[in-house]
């Protein structure tokens, strides 16, 4: 798994505005199972922008855009082994 992934990589093919464009918002919804939530969205005709994919910081994420162009994220906390 590549841990060096930027927001631009995660949201491709959507464009990510530069900082000079002002504040951008990503709405996030915590769910118990990203894959199940993604499947339910697909059944309803929603196309995902990216994911599902695991992150280096212990979450599984997927993103989709609503009809207004707002990007939403689904997030699931993954079980992590305690540090030794």
Q: pLDDT tens, 1-39? A: 455 666 667 667 767 667 676 546 778 899 999 999 999
Overall average pLDDT of the 39-52 stretch = 90
Q: What is the CA radius of gyration of the chain?
A: 14
Q: What DSSP element (H or E) covers 34?
A: helix 34-43
Tokens of 50: 């990216």
pLDDT in tens, 62-80: 999 887 777 899 999 998 6
CA distances from 4 to 38, 44, 60, 73, 77 (A): 24, 32, 15, 19, 19
Share of the chain above pLDDT 70, in %: 68
Between 7 and 44, the higher pLDDT residue: 44
Q: What DSSP element (H or E) covers 52?
A: strand 48-54
State the pLDDT at residue 39: 93
């Amino acid at each position: 798994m590549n841990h060096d992934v930027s927001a631009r990589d995660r949201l491709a093919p959507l464009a990510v505005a530069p900082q000079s464009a002002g504040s951008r918002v990503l709405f996030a919804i915590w769910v118990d199972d990203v894959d199940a939530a993604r499947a339910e969205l697909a059944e309803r005709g929603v196309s995902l922008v990216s994911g599902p994919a695991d992150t280096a910081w212990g979450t599984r994420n997927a993103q989709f855009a609503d009809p207004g162009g707002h990007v939403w994220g689904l997030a699931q906390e993954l079980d992590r082994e305690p540090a030794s």
